[in-house]
Chains A and B, each alone.
Chain A
Amino acid sequence: MIVFDLMLAAAILVAGWSALSAPDRTGAIAGFLVFGLLVALSWVRLDAPDVALAEAAIGSGLTGALMLRAAGRMAPPAADRVPRAQRAAAALLACGLAGGLAVAVMDLPGATIVYDPLVRADLGQSGVSNPVTAVLLNFRAWDTLLEMAVLLAALVLVAALGPRGTPRPARLGPLYTPFLRIMAPLSVLVAGHLLWLGATAPGGAFQAGAVLCGGLLALYFGGALRPAAVPAGPLWALCAAGVAVFAAAALAAEVLTGTLLAYPDGADKIWILAIEGGLTVSIGATLLLLFTGLRQGGARA
């Protein structure tokens, strides 16, 4: 397997280089997509399927699609020659940084990761058996809450900056409709499954949300879903709902137990599932909106 790993590492480097050195935007984005997939693969190799899934879906897929869409709307890049000296300096500095990092990695004292025993010890009290979910939604739920805020902030940002009009994809042909008829319910199903699975195995709200978003995007490209036609309020409310549920749950827990985000004894799983459910919907809607670039205020002309 070591050979595969080495090849994978080399391939990642090559993909990164091709993304950076591509003369036009499309080529660069293609390089980026490949790069993202390879990285997702490497996550799998590192026994982190959650991360691999998220990377593939969001980091590579959604981002790549966004980039492609943006590239189509932009003027061709100006011929901006970077001076040779600057390039050389950058290379030198990058090598220096890399060298420093390499030294650091070589020198790692092999510190005991304190979390493993802690998580293992407390997993029983967390209400779920998947340690990742336990960390995300119980032990370090505060981080997750704030990450949802990041997502929302990104959405607000896009809303503030977004283009004046939204793209109106052409209605796809009759071949596409049957596909959608299967795809859409399936994505909901898969999302639900992932959500439920998250309690015991890799999976959870982020993955479920990504899948849900995939389904929605399929509808969108098929012309079945036109966010621009939907009044702004509900969509935004959908985006915010999950986060709001999370925050409300945090406060409710505080009211009930006296500690923020400390779920009542024994009911951990219910709480986590409820929160995750909200998050799934929210993430799906948010990712969709991020993609379609809805202006705040929605379809208000």
Chain B
Amino acid sequence: MIELPLFLVPGAPLALLILFALPQARATARALVPVAPLPALLAALAPVAPPPLALDWLLLGTRLALTETGATFLAFSALLWALAGWGAERLLVRDPARDRFSVCLLLAMTGNLGLLVAQDLGSFYAFFAMMSLASWGLVLHGGGAAQVFAGRIYIAFAILGEVALFAGLAMGAFATGTYMLADLAQPGVPPLALALVAVGFLIKLGAVPLHLWLPLAHSAAPAPASAVLSGAMLKAGLFGLMTVLPLGAVVAPEAGALLAAMAVAGLLIAPLLGLVQGDPKAVLAYSSIGQMSLMALGLGVGLAAPEAWPAIAVALVLLAAHHAFAKAALFLGVPVVWATGIGWPRALVLGAMALPAAALIGLPGTSGGLAKDAIKTAVAVGPGAWAFWLAPALFAASLGTACLMLRAFALLAAAPIRAEVPRGVALPFAVAVGLGVAGLALIPVPTHAAKAAVPSDLLPLAMAAALAALTLAAVRLARVRLVPPAPGGLLAAFEQVPVPAPVLALPAPERRGRALAPRRRRRPDGLAQSGGLAILGMAAALALAAVMLPEPAGSANPTSGAPAPAAAPAQSPAAGD
């Protein structure tokens, strides 16, 4: 197999981007979007990792390399981006602004793929920012009020994250004296720097309470965008944290506890909020929050118990890959549901969607089962004191996911058909489902020997089903009608629809008159009358002053009053005095 240069990973989508600048080439470019991540995929799947690349002239000295973890992330991200590109091409086939979407997609793709191979701070940060900002365009694409609001919240959080990341990276770079990302994990980096970097990544990861943007954005963006947002980009945050945190090297119980607390909060809050949503994509988004919190939990444990980290790292990679495929398949399924009429076609679609859903819930035999088992096993090694509540938390997570899936399916089943959604979206969805099923086998993931399935694994699903049935019954009996709240939780209170154009800058009041010219008089030259007075006054004043003033000191001229020099006038012309 030929060796693929690493710069092609971000370079291919960028090159395609340039093609978009030419109006004549746009049709071709559009068709090529799905294959843009291909080099990345090849690089990730290559039996021998491509050699590192040093471009000293680029940015602050760019270093590209593919680590083992990076390869996994790169592989599933590339696949997801390809799927999203394909899905978007089919979904937005009639959208006049589809080129704009493609451009944003390509930019975000470049960023996401690039950051996975970037080894130095400058290029990592650049790719990260590129991804974040370009995703803004993905969120905003629909152009409705919800999108505008979601976009505003999204970009606010994104910029906040960028700024925190910038500050943290700058401090870290100053402390270590190098520009290498991996050096941040070395001891000696100030905690504040790490905290800032972590905040930047946690925002991206969607950890509670920095998650507020996530449900909004996911539900507002078109489905393929949601797929990558949830499947690939959230993982970028995870990837960042795994890279820069001194995991496995230092014991930081406080930081670990804080992270774990955030994670547990996410595990509990996400299902509660998600269940009351009325939009299937929002429900799926909340499920993402739950899943990402699970990964954050792993990080927290890793910080608190370094000895557990190697196992946790493996589990996290598994979890990330599995979640990426499953969630992408679910998101891509949403428009397919919309496009199919109620009846057997929809049942068929929902049936297909059930596969990734099952994986998400963690049913044994699925990728999810494998991953969850891995994380459970790994976490169990963690600090002894934590064991008491870790297990219930994990169970709550599974239960929550199951409930959310049921809720999502219920909503999807009842979703009205949308005529504007083209049917062509089914094909990418099918591929995605296939990937969801076979996914972990295709990409280079660390191996984990799952323990045999036990019936208790089905407990969350069963309990969720029971709860759902109970709720349904209660609702029917009590004849209450649930009004789903808007996505966004607390922030919904701030949404203003529609936003009138605010009058921000009042015009300055007109200045009358001129600033520098005082009021003018008719005849400014009527002074001659008093001129005589002025002459007299001046002369008198000076004369009196001359009389009154004491003789200036030192004027005692000895020659004063003396007769003039001898009388003979000099005849020479040069005579002066």
A is bound by B: yes
List A residues at the B interface (Cβ < 8 Å): 86, 89-90, 93-94, 96-97, 99-101, 103-104, 109, 111-112, 114, 117-118, 121-122, 258-259
Bound together, the chains give a CA A93 to CA B540 distance in angstroms of 6
Give the one of B546, B547, B568 with max A CB within 10 A: B547
Task: Find the A residue at minimum CB distance from B536.
Answer: A93
- Among listed B67-75, B246-254, B269-277, B559-567, interface-contacting one: B559-567
Q: Is B159 an interface residue (CB 8 A)?
A: no
Bound together, the chains give a CA A93 to CA B533 distance in angstroms of 8
* Nearest Cβ on chain B to A188's Cβ, whole angstroms: 37
* B530: contacting residue among A86, A100, A118, A121, CB under 8 A: A86
A86 to chain B: which residues have CB within 8 Å? Answer: 530, 533
Bound together, the chains give a CA A259 to CA B564 distance in angstroms of 25
B563 to chain A: which residues have CB within 8 Å? Answer: 112, 114
Of residues 120 through 144 on chain B, the ones whose CB sits less than 8 Å from some CB of chain A are none
Docked-complex contact A101 and B568, CB < 8 angstroms: no
* A118: contacting residue among B537, B547, B561, B569, CB under 8 A: B569
User: Do A97 and B540 contact each other (CB < 8 Å), given the known contacts A112-B563, A121-B568, A259-B573?
Assistant: yes
Bound together, the chains give a CA A294 to CA B546 distance in angstroms of 46
* B547: contacting residue among A90, A100, A109, A259, CB under 8 A: A100
Q: Considering only CB atoms and an 8 Å cut-off, how many residues of chain B contact the other chain? A: 21
User: Do A114 and B536 contact each other (CB < 8 Å), given the known contacts A96-B543, A100-B546?
Assistant: no
Docked-complex contact B536 and A103, CB < 8 angstroms: no
What 7 pairs between A and B have smallest CB-CB spacing? A100-B543, A114-B564, A96-B540, A97-B540, A93-B536, A121-B567, A93-B540
Docked-complex contact A94 and B536, CB < 8 angstroms: yes
* Nearest Cβ on chain B to A159's Cβ, whole angstroms: 25
Docked-complex contact B543 and A97, CB < 8 angstroms: yes
Task: Find the B residue at minimum CB distance from A101.
Answer: B543
The A interface is mostly helix, strand or loop, or mixed, namely helix
Docked-complex contact A122 and B561, CB < 8 angstroms: no
- The digit string for B498-540, where 1 denotes a CB below 8 A from any CB of A, is 0000000000000000000000000000000010110011011
A93 to chain B: which residues have CB within 8 Å? Answer: 533, 536-537, 540
Bound together, the chains give a CA A96 to CA B543 distance in angstroms of 8
* A90: contacting residue among B533, B562, B569, CB under 8 A: B533
Task: Find the B residue at minimum CB distance from A110.
Answer: B561
Task: Find the A residue at minimum CB distance from B535.
Answer: A93
B533 to chain A: which residues have CB within 8 Å? Answer: 86, 89-90, 93
* B569: contacting residue among A104, A109, A122, A258, CB under 8 A: A122
Bound together, the chains give a CA A103 to CA B547 distance in angstroms of 8
Docked-complex contact B540 and A94, CB < 8 angstroms: yes
> What are 29 A-B contacts defined by CB distance under 8 Å?
A86-B533, A90-B532, A93-B533, A93-B540, A97-B536, A97-B539, A97-B540, A99-B544, A100-B540, A100-B543, A100-B544, A101-B543, A103-B547, A104-B547, A109-B560, A112-B561, A112-B563, A112-B564, A114-B563, A117-B567, A118-B564, A118-B567, A121-B567, A121-B568, A121-B569, A122-B567, A122-B569, A258-B573, A259-B573
* Nearest Cβ on chain A to B568's Cβ, whole angstroms: 7
Bound together, the chains give a CA A275 to CA B80 distance in angstroms of 119
* Nearest Cβ on chain A to B440's Cβ, whole angstroms: 111
Bound together, the chains give a CA A300 to CA B541 distance in angstroms of 51
A101 to chain B: which residues have CB within 8 Å? Answer: 543
A89 to chain B: which residues have CB within 8 Å? Answer: 533, 537
* Nearest Cβ on chain B to A75's Cβ, whole angstroms: 19
B573 to chain A: which residues have CB within 8 Å? Answer: 258-259
